[in-house]
Structure 1
Amino acid sequence: MNQTLPLALPTTLVNLHRIDLTAPYSRGWGVCAYDVATAPNGEVYALYGVSRYTSGVADDEQDPAIANFGYRIITRYSTAGDALASALWETSDRAATAVAEGGDMTLCVLPDGTLAVSASPNNTTLITPDLSRVVTTYDSKDLRPFEEFTPGDAFASSIGVTPSGRLLCTVAEYGVWKYGNLLTNIVGVADGALTATSKPVIEALASLDPEPAHQSEVDVRAHIAYQGAPVGLANRPRPALTEQVADEDRLSGWHRSHLGRAVPLADDLFVVPVYAKTFRGGSRGQPFVFALVDDQGKMTGRLDGMDKWRDSPFTGFCFNLAADPYRGFAYHLNRYGLYAWDKSGILRVKLDTEGKAFKPLTHFTLTTCSPAGELLLVHNKQHLVLRVPAPDDLTGLAASVEEALHGYARQRTVLKKQWAPVNWHWTQRDVPLHRL
């Protein structure tokens, strides 16, 4: 059964900052979805944010009705689709929060039910399943602007979980493509529990840039290992993914390419997306690779069947992949279609968005696949999560998605009557709200 879940703003927050929900985002405010995660028991967690920036407002403005602000919000939903609780924290440098902030923030439910919130570079925060408190924070403290560097306690920039509980991680390194900051460069797997008192060693499997520049001993991380030694300086997996597909990017030679979030296709097989350099004038037609990498670090193949122009993920920057490791399926959604592969990398289904039935998919972003095989999509403007049951046999995917899209329209109408949103902005009053 498909569900539709609203990404709601706490009423207390809307009232505190006197947010004008009717105002267009060109006024300097907005709501943005980041990620969705599902627990084995069927509960859903959604991570999204709201911010406002008005030029000319002083950084020390005290009136919350005028001041600029930024918040991240996590909402927990029951299997029936009811909001159970929300948690929020401020994102400003002045905010007193236990959550380690960063870019490209993602969610993951760990095998013990703890919620992990990760962000680049290598920051991971563990939160109780009920969202009431932060368990612990692994904060890299890497290269904070205008601050003297003090080594922190890093973990990963993103985490995924395999059926047996292994942690598939992406890790940022300093000096990637000679940039003077940290960018995602390593994919690895950790065997062992991530808890408040211990973190497992991440065994590096694949790299993007084989020779990041200007590293020193301070850039070596003991909890990320390759061939028995910490990753850093000259030690990382070789050949890098970009070296293995070097002849496929004749324009930029994979220089300034980037890694997407890796997803587990099985306990011992992972999909690692690599995207070529993006250009200001448009990047459609740029090469990309959805590499299949095993737990020995070998690139065994790729997800085939996409044309780099007709199926380009660069249109709209649709870089997410999702995988169902319990059934061995991988999924990708972009402006041109929803794609599904089997474990061998063969494209089994493409739902073309040129047709009327699947054109609504162009308004959604794919976030994750639940342990039950459901796809979780977020509507980019209506701030709703669509939960799509995916059949065990991919031959039934088209019918399942079409039915879910029809159900979305009906459920959205019901939610509008219940919630009375303003310009597709939903507000909630009666859900417990925790400040982290």
Structure 2
Amino acid sequence: MTLPLTLPASLIDTHHVDPTADGWGFMTHHVVATPTGDTYALSGAGRYRGEAARSTDPAEQNFNCQMITRHSPDGTPTATALFGQPRPDGTPSAIERGESPTLAVLPDGTVALTSKPGSTHLISPDLSRVLASWTMPWGWEEEKARTGDPYAASIALTPSGRLLCTTPEYHLSNWAGAHPNIVALSEPGSTLAPGSKATLRAIATHDSRTARQTDADQYPHVRFRGAPVGRGNRPAPSLTEILSKDAHSPYDYVNSRMGRPAPLGDDLFVVPVFGKIYRSGNRGQVFAFALLDDQGVVRGRLEGLDPYKDSPFTGFCFTVVADPHRGRAFHLNRYGLYAWNADGRLRSRISTQDKPFKALTHFALLECTPAGELLLAHHKQHLLLRVPVPEELDGLADAVETALKGYGTGRNALKKQYAPVNWHWVDSSAQVHHL
């Protein structure tokens, strides 16, 4: 199935957006699907024209917002929540515009919105209300005052409903600000809900350089050995130290960055770690997709990728997704689509150099659905392609080829329905909520 990643018509009308003009943009950050087939797409739209922001003409003023759109199982947009900029009556939005935002749908249907460095918001399934917020503001003054009440920078769910999270820490090495640094897991039976901030058990540390930390850098909901994580009370050795043992140089993973962990099951997870990004070319830089169990033991890696030939640094394709119900992991970058089983063996490599799969370079892999479908978003055409994954990963290439052939047919049908301008799909049917 192909579905449009839509913009609400009211947003286009309010800001007098010309879809053919330069100086504004729209992109999709993340997409998740529910077991019943509903799809939630998290996107952002904005325009910047410098001094034009002082203009009284809505067509010239700057704007910057984010939105979540719910699609029914047949792909129809049913509701959109706008946030990150003042509401139409001028009151502040209940949700700040976040960096690297992601979504998760909790077992009761509540939508969890997370963003760096550690903000979490719970939103009703119909997108009409913010149910709870735990925020971690940016900025030097906020860091100095320790304002806010953070929870997680990302959340993913295991099959039984446990929360697999990254949580932030201040005062790592000589870095300023807070950074996602802890991989943490909720205990069975605990829930995240208004008035219930589920306690998380730390199972891995990315970077253990914490000499500058004080008691003010600890958060009671992230614990290790019965006490809040901080300074030396944390899982050890760190992922940086573990991965450096097998690297060509002990400094390869210094100042590396950790991606969003993905659950391969209730007790096995993929944790991506990428070497430092340089201003010059980064192709060939180190990276690892570590396999971590629920006790914090590194059980291996997703094998079979070459640091240069399969580099995720070209185009900065840093997402790894997993199907925890079937124990499979997937990664898409400019060189190929890759699939592994739960023990880390590479079961499928689909090269984007092969003619049937060249179109994959125009897509970003965003998530895997509970039904075992890959969700791929087209960078420029703003369409979401669902790729059913066969039970045997050896047949993945045929499934992808079939989906790519059907993409054009689905796109043409949607063009007749929406009449997009410059590949922007404007919808007026979904109910819009200003959070």
Quote the residue 1:88 is aligned against: 82
Q: Which amino acid aligns with 1:54?
A: R
Runs of 5+ in structure 1 lacking a partner? none
Quote the residue 2:42 is aligned against: 47
Quote the residue 1:246 is aligned against: 244
Residue-by-residue CA offset, 1:168-212 (whole Å, 9 max, x unaligned): 001111133421111111111012110011111111111111123
Quote the residue 1:350 is aligned against: 349
- Displacement, 1:304? 0.2
Distance in 1 between residues matched to 2:356 and 2:50, nearest whole Å: 43
Runs of 5+ in structure 2 lacking a partner? none
Are the counterparts in 1 of residues 111 and 122 from structure 2 also a CA contact under 8 Å?
A: yes
Quote the residue 1:386 is aligned against: 385
The normalised TM-score by structure 2 is 0.95
Distance in 2 between residues matched to 1:144 and 1:6, nearest whole Å: 39
Secondary structure (helix, strand or coil) at the match of 2:289 reads: strand
Q: Which amino acid aligns with 1:396?
A: G
Are the counterparts in 1 of residues 118 and 168 from structure 2 also a CA contact under 8 Å?
A: yes
Quote the residue 1:159 is aligned against: 155
Are the counterparts in 2 of residues 349 and 394 from structure 1 also a CA contact under 8 Å?
A: yes
Query: Aligned ranges for residues 113-124 of structure 1 at < 5 Å?
Result: 113-124=109-120
Alpha-carbon distance change, 198 to 410 in structure 1, aligned in 2, over 3 angstroms: same
The one of 17, 22, 28 aligned to 1:33: 28
Quote the residue 2:313 is aligned against: 314
Query: Aligned ranges for residues 32-431 of structure 1 at < 5 Å?
Result: 32-58=27-53, 61-91=55-85, 96-141=92-137, 143=139, 145=141, 149-191=145-187, 192-247=190-245, 248=247, 250=249, 252-431=251-430
Residue-by-residue CA offset, 1:353-411 (whole Å, 9 max, x unaligned): 00011111111000111111010011011111111111111122111111111111110
Deviates more, 1:90-99 or 1:287-296: 90-99
Deviates more, 1:49-58 or 1:158-167: 49-58
Distance in 2 between residues matched to 1:150 and 1:214, nearest whole Å: 15
Are the counterparts in 2 of residues 376 and 388 from structure 1 also a CA contact under 8 Å?
A: yes
Q: What's the RMSD between the two structures over aligned residues?
A: 1.8
Say how many residue pairs are matched: 430
Secondary structure (helix, strand or coil) at the match of 2:421 reads: coil
Distance in 2 between residues matched to 1:157 and 1:233, nearest whole Å: 20
Deviates more, 1:205-214 or 1:331-340: 205-214
Q: Which amino acid aligns with 1:79?
A: P
Q: Which amino acid aligns with 2:233?
A: N
Alpha-carbon distance change, 307 to 377 in structure 1, aligned in 2, over 3 angstroms: same
Distance in 2 between residues matched to 1:382 and 1:145, nearest whole Å: 40
Distance in 2 between residues matched to 1:145 and 1:337, nearest whole Å: 44
Q: Which amino acid aligns with 2:59?
A: A
Deviates more, 1:86-95 or 1:28-37: 86-95
The normalised TM-score by structure 1 is 0.95
Are the counterparts in 1 of residues 77 and 429 from structure 2 also a CA contact under 8 Å?
A: no
Distance in 2 between residues matched to 1:135 and 1:144, nearest whole Å: 28
Distance in 2 between residues matched to 1:106 and 1:131, nearest whole Å: 15
Quote the residue 1:22 is aligned against: 20
- Displacement, 1:255? 2.0
Are the counterparts in 2 of residues 17 and 65 from structure 1 also a CA contact under 8 Å?
A: yes
Deviates more, 1:403-412 or 1:97-106: 97-106
Distance in 1 between residues matched to 2:68 and 2:62, nearest whole Å: 21
Alpha-carbon distance change, 90 to 64 in structure 1, aligned in 2, over 3 angstroms: farther
Deviates more, 1:183-192 or 1:317-326: 183-192
Q: Which amino acid aligns with 1:34?
A: H
- Displacement, 1:233? 2.3
Secondary structure (helix, strand or coil) at the match of 1:313 reads: coil
Distance in 2 between residues matched to 1:111 and 1:4, nearest whole Å: 26
Distance in 2 between residues matched to 1:149 and 1:326, nearest whole Å: 43
Distance in 2 between residues matched to 1:71 and 1:109, nearest whole Å: 21
Deviates more, 1:5-14 or 1:143-152: 143-152
Quote the residue 2:7 is aligned against: 9
Secondary structure (helix, strand or coil) at the match of 2:221 reads: strand
Q: Which amino acid aligns with 1:55?
A: G
Distance in 2 between residues matched to 1:126 and 1:217, nearest whole Å: 28
- Displacement, 1:273? 0.4
